[in-house]
């Protein structure tokens, strides 16, 4: 007999013979009947044991043991919140314990509280919880919607390197690696490489991990994260802000359509966001008016980002035309010491930054020097703009940040399978 997934049983009829492989999510030992709650990647169903010759074997079962169950499909009216298939159950004829689980180091039921640190120590078990699994199914939908959006627009997916010779954004916040006889770094960003492709391939995107050696320890930051990046030739900062707005709306729409069950498990209702555009100057004036003191030329604090999002609920809030001094060397200058750089805020978090890039070699050298960086260290990058480089723009969305913002999670580590921060390097 072919083994089935649990959701295959929704198509089954009464008295169908079935055989499944699953985990034991829960069990109850009553006098006349024994109940096993079975779970696989597709759902959960109740199994009932009525045969007394199986009662002794039932005593060997432990939570999260892997079992092979053979039985008959029956009508049922199951009220347990843990069961996804409530109108059917399996009357178990026989079962085999494939791998008996030892006592669990963390509980698998969502309603039992466990510290985040301990859950992360046993993440491979933690993801068996319906709530945690729901987060990562939604995250999978997010990244696939991002890819789908840009593939539909004829973008090319590229694979930039993760080991680089030069700091992408300057500064010293990089993880050094010994690369044979040379010193190299883990990439802070695919920035330089996606630009080098956009000036020839025109429309590119990538999804890749990045590493930042910043010594922070907050609920909003990781030292390794995943980025969803795009770069587009013949565009300015407002062109790609509009692309970001459209992309975010598309992602939320797809999650809303395709992750109804997961959103229900998380008790989360989401709506397709609108967009609000503010210049940096307008944002600063508005924040000061609202009692959050920020001087012109200062970065936005976490409090300021939350306030702007609260003022414009369910909006992607774009803050554009930043002072040039607050943006990286590769951002194109505007008049009056302004830049073509922007940030995007959503549900109180910065989810993206981007802008128009410098595409003129001489201006790029000037901007490197202004940022106290050695132009010779960026020779391969600067020289690329000497051979007919068009104007171009782009941005990056942090995957974990977007997941955190969309689901309004309290800690970014909830949106990362195996977080890497100052304290955590395992599992």
Provide the 8-state DSSP code for 293.
-
CB distance 108 to 125 below 8 Å: yes
Q: Tell me if residue 353 is catalytic.
A: yes
Distance CA 101, CA 423 (A): 29
Q: Which of 39, 212, 226, 413 is catalytic?
A: 212
- The closest alpha carbon to 240, from 231, 248, 253, belongs to 231
Alpha carbon distance, N-terminus to C-terminus of the chain:
38
305-314's contacts with Cβ under 8 Å and 24+ in sequence apart are: 305/345, 305/348, 305/349, 305/350, 306/348, 308/278, 308/283, 308/345, 309/345, 309/346, 309/347, 309/348, 309/349, 310/348, 311/286, 312/276, 314/271, 314/273, 314/274
Q: Tell me if residue 226 is catalytic.
A: no
Q: Tell me if residue 220 is catalytic.
A: yes
Provide the 8-state DSSP code for 4.
B
Q: Which of 89, 231, 262, 350 is catalytic?
A: 350
- The closest alpha carbon to 47, from 65, 16, 26, 62, belongs to 26
Distance CA 212, CA 398 (A): 13
CB distance 90 to 44 below 8 Å: no
Q: Which of 39, 320, 392, 401 is catalytic?
A: 401
Q: Which of 19, 93, 169, 214 is catalytic?
A: 214
For residue 363, the surrounding DSSP H or E stretch is helix 361-370
Q: Which of 147, 221, 420, 424 is catalytic?
A: 221
Distance CA 195, CA 148 (A): 21
CB distance 210 to 188 below 8 Å: yes
Q: Which of 123, 220, 420, 424 is catalytic?
A: 220
In angstroms, how far is CA 21 from the centroid of its own chain? Answer: 30
Q: Which of 65, 189, 353, 396 is catalytic?
A: 353
CB distance 334 to 341 below 8 Å: no
Residue 205: partners with Cβ closer than 8 Å, 6 or more residues away: 146, 147, 150, 155, 156, 157, 158, 228, 229, 230, 231
Q: Tell me if residue 221 is catalytic.
A: yes
Q: Tell me if residue 157 is catalytic.
A: no
Count the alpha carbons within 13 Å of 422 in the hemisphere toward its beta carbon. 8
- Residues acting as catalytic residues: 212, 214, 220-221, 350, 353, 401
């Amino acid at each position: 007999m072919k083994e089935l997934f649990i959701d295959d049983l929704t198509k089954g009829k009464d008295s169908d013979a079935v055989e499944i492989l699953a985990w034991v999510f829960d069990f109850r030992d009553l006098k006349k009947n024994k109940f096993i709650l079975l779970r696989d990647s597709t759902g959960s169903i109740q199994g009932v044991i009525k045969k007394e010759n199986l009662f002794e074997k039932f005593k060997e079962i432990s939570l999260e043991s892997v079992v092979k169950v053979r039985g008959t499909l029956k009508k049922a009216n199951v009220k347990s919140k843990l069961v996804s298939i409530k109108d059917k159950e399996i009357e178990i004829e026989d079962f085999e314990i494939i791998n008996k689980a030892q006592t669990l180091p963390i509980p698998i039921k969502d309603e039992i509280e466990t510290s985040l640190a301990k859950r992360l120590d046993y993440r491979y078990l933690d993801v068996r919880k319906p709530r945690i699994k729901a987060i990562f199914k939604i995250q999978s939908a997010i990244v696939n919607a991002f890819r789908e959006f840009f593939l539909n627009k004829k973008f090319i997916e590229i694979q930039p390197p993760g080991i680089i010779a030069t700091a992408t954004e300057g500064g010293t916040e990089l993880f050094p690696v010994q690369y044979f006889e040379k010193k190299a770094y883990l990439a802070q960003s695919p920035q330089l490489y996606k630009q080098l492709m956009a000036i020839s391939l025109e429309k590119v995107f990538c999804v890749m991990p990045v590493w930042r050696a910043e010594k922070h320890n907050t609920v909003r930051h990781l030292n390794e994260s995943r980025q969803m990046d795009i770069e587009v030739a013949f565009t300015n900062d407002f062109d790609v802000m509009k692309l970001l707005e459209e992309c975010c709306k598309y992602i939320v729409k797809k999650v809303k359509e395709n992750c109804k069950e997961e959103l229900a498990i998380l008790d989360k209702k989401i709506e397709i966001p609108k967009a609000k555009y503010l210049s940096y100057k307008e944002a600063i004036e508005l924040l000061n008016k609202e009692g959050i003191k920020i001087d012109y030329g200062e970065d936005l604090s976490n409090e300021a980002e939350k306030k702007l999002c609260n003022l414009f609920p369910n909006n992607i809030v774009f803050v554009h035309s930043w002072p040039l001094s607050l943006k990286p060397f590769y951002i194109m200058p505007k008049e009056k010491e302004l830049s073509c750089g922007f940030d995007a805020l959503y549900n109180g978090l910065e989810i993206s930054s981007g802008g128009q890039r410098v595409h003129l070699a001489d201006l790029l050298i000037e901007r490197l020097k202004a940022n106290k960086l050695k132009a010779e260290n960026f020779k391969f990058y600067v020289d690329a703009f000497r051979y007919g480089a068009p104007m171009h723009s782009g941005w990056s969305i942090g995957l974990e940040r977007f997941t955190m913002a969309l689901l309004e999670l309290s800690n970014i580590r909830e949106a990362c399978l195996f977080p890497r921060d100052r304290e955590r390097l395992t599992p």
